[in-house]
Amino acid sequence: MDIQLNFINLSNDVNNSQVVIFQKNVSTDFDELAIAWKVISNCGRGDNHPFVFPMQTTLTASDANGNYMPRRPAQNGQMFSVTRAASGNVLGVAGAASSSREIQLRNDLRSGAITAGVFKDNRLLAHKTGIVPGQKAVFEFKPTLWIGTASQIEQGTVMNSAVLSDINTELSLLGIARCDIVMTGGGGGTTAVPYQFRLANVVMA
């Protein structure tokens, strides 16, 4: 079941901060920086911004020739592969992954690296570049969202390590059907305090 979320700005923000929401790929062999999955901009004090965190995940791949393969629904425990078919390179299901908590994508081409991308709500959630033949990308996500403030962040782009190091709020969505995400804090001058994010009005599934 999709999770209905509602961001509410109850902060003393005077800088019109962007709010960035993302997940981290916790797979052990992952070395890519996190992607800004959702960016909320111009949400003034007292405003709210509803959005959905869907259960369905989709997976795509692109090859060294610049071809993008259609997105396919992907679940934990599934293995996918990119192979050469009569028509060219194709993305298909290749059985069970080696871990039930992971989505895996293997490059079964003879030559050429591929890039894997994972999407939720038609927005890029994570990617892995430079997967050479015989290697695989591994994606594993906890049922949590990371949230924080930033500036000049574009949705769907890689966030640098300086931005990521400033964001330390992790909100668990486990078992939740819908809830509010409330931002407080902020302000200017000597009275400024750090932004805080908390869940409120939680309805369990």
Show the CA angle centred on residue 68, arms to residues 33 and 57, nearest 5°: 60
Cα–Cα nearest to 126, from 136, 134, 112, 116 = 116
According to the model, what pLDDT value does residue 189 have? 86
* Percent of the chain whose pLDDT exceeds 70: 99
Answer yes or no: is pLDDT of 14 > 90: no
In sequence order, the 6+-apart residues with CB closer than 8 A to the CB of 24 are 34, 141, 142, 146
Q: What is the pLDDT of residues 162-193, one digit of tens each?
A: 999 999 999 999 999 999 999 999 988 888 89
According to the model, what pLDDT value does residue 73 have? 98
According to the model, what pLDDT value does residue 28 have? 67
According to the model, what pLDDT value does residue 30 have? 67
Q: Confidence band (pLDDT; 50, 70, 90) for 69?
A: very high
Answer yes or no: is pLDDT of 31 > 80: no
Dist CA 88 CA 27 (whole Å)? 30
Q: What is the pLDDT of residues 109-150, one digit of tens each?
A: 999 999 999 999 999 999 999 999 999 999 999 999 999 999
According to the model, what pLDDT value does residue 150 have? 93
